[in-house]
Amino acid sequence: MVDVLLGLQWGDEGKGKIVDFLAPEYDIIARFQGGPNAGHTLYLNDKKVVLHTIPSGVFHPKLLNVIGNGVVIDPVSFKAECEEIEGLGVQLASTLIISEKAHIILPTHKALDKANELAKGSNKIGSTLKGIGPTYMDKTGRNGLRVGDLLQSDFTERYNTLKDKHLSLLKQMHYEEDISHLEADFFAAVEALKKYKILAVDYWLNEQISQGKKVLAEGAQGTMLDIDFGTYPFVTSSNTITAGLCTGLGIAPKWVGKVFGISKAYCTRVGSGPFPTELLDETGDLLRKKGNEFGSTTGRPRRCGWIDLVALKYACMLNGVTDLIITKADVLDEMPQIGLCTSYQIDGNTTTQFPFDIHHTETIPQYDYVTQWEKNLSDCVADGDLPENFNTFIKHIESFTGVKISFISNGVGRNQLIVRK
């Protein structure tokens, strides 16, 4: 069986921490989409580690970690990440498996990302500029290079053909950047990548599943950044939802078991695009400060606001969430009152559906409020310790979405997690 864990908002819901917590119950952790735009934070004892391309099960020695075909890999940042993790004593050569079908991010993909954003001006996506969009464009445009191609004798030739194509595009866009000095690093990183296990992950993973091995698929980004269902065009370039694991790993839907969907107890977004419940006042600033809401990959301040149950219910529907996980609940301690958006008002009409065009339409969120729970949630260890007002808050989420909350995260540590009975 394959369980999946993914974000239900605009990313950064705390996926890294929860995968790290659940990992001992699994044999294999597999990333199925996204790339180094992701930043998944976890703590190894007291040391903070941010993972970008490598799955978050990597600190559990008995597990195998898989990078699926749906992921895009930047050899340069991948090499730096491997070196950091190997420096912490992890044997990646024997525990990391990379799909031969995963696509490669070239230095010119990153230049194209910057050129595209510049060309969009004030309409820019707010991309992490890691080359994600251009690499997926080359994948669907049938021009991309894959990990398996690195092992072929004509790789350099194919690299040069694609690079030249990119350079002429960049010229047309009047974007100038000397990438020649990046190429030595790129080719050195390609050699380093070849040292890891490169496999037909589709066959290998299906074989593991048929032998009864338990797999946890780890999503990156979040449902509202999904290329089809997110706040398009302010999205990433992959399918971040449950369906993405089938195409991103080569696994048939019949193998999908539990769907763990993660949401913060409030909401954040980094980069541009619609965010109906955004708080542009002191409350938003307080959430950013208390939640330490600065991007794990780019360091940018995250936009903050109240939890959006309309968007959350939509995300639960798209993903078939079986178990909800609420993170960063502790950040809301001391807030005098806590908002939950239960509908939008658009052109004088009330709706509980996430609209098609939220960018050009004024969407006014309608809120219910819960009053402060005069207790530090980080002091709670069991379900029974949770204060009454907090229980009202989570019951509200459960009844609106129709999904049970299985875990509540109340701190950054691996074990700061309350299991709900």
331 near ligand GDP, rule: CB under 6 A: yes
Nearest to 18 by CA among 47, 39, 54, 42: 42
Catalytic residue among 12, 74, 113, 330: 12
230 near ligand IMO, rule: CB under 6 A: no
Q: Which does 125 bind (CB under 5 to 8 A by kind): Mg ion, ligand GDP, ligand IMO, none?
A: ligand IMO
* Catalytic residue list contains 12: yes
Restricting to residues 276-315, which ones interact with Mg ion according to CB under 5 A? 296
d(CA 403, CA 346): 26
Restricting to residues 80-139, which ones interact with ligand IMO according to CB under 6 A? 125-128, 130, 132-133
Catalytic residue among 3, 20, 27, 40: 40
Q: Which does 218 bind (CB under 5 to 8 A by kind): ligand IMO, ligand GDP, Mg ion, none?
A: none
**Interacting stretch for ligand GDP, rule CB under 6 A, among 98-106, 204-212, 273-281, 407-415?**
407-415
* SS3 (DSSP) at 256: strand
* Catalytic residue list contains 103: no
Please tell me what DSSP assigns to residue 384.
G
38 near ligand IMO, rule: CB under 6 A: yes
Restricting to residues 260-289, which ones interact with ligand IMO according to CB under 6 A? 270-271
Task: Name the residue with the smallest CB distance to ligand IMO.
Answer: 271
d(CA 305, CA 299): 18
d(CA 244, CA 55): 16
Rounded to 5°, the CA angle 400-419-18 comes to 85
Pairing of strands 96-99, 47-51: unpaired
Instruction: Report, in Å, the least distance between residue 98 CB and ligand GDP.
Output: 21
- Helices and strands: H and E segment counts in the chain: 12, 19
Task: Name the residue with the smallest CB distance to ligand GDP.
Answer: 41
d(CA 163, CA 112): 11
**Interacting stretch for ligand GDP, rule CB under 6 A, among 90-98, 155-163, 327-335, 341-349?**
327-335
CB 8 within 8 A of CB 266: no
Instruction: Report, in Å, the least distance between residue 211 CB and ligand GDP.
Output: 29
Measured in whole angstroms, how far is the alpha carbon of residue 262 from the centre of its chain?
A: 10
- Contacting residues for 205 by C-beta, under 8 A, at least 6 apart: 28, 30, 66, 68, 215, 249, 250, 251
Active site residues: 12, 40
Residues that bind Mg ion (CB under 5 A): 12, 39, 296
Residues that bind ligand GDP (CB under 6 A): 7, 11-17, 39-41, 296, 327-328, 330-331, 409-412
Residues that bind ligand IMO (CB under 6 A): 7, 10-12, 34, 37-40, 125-128, 130, 132-133, 220-222, 225, 236, 270-271, 296
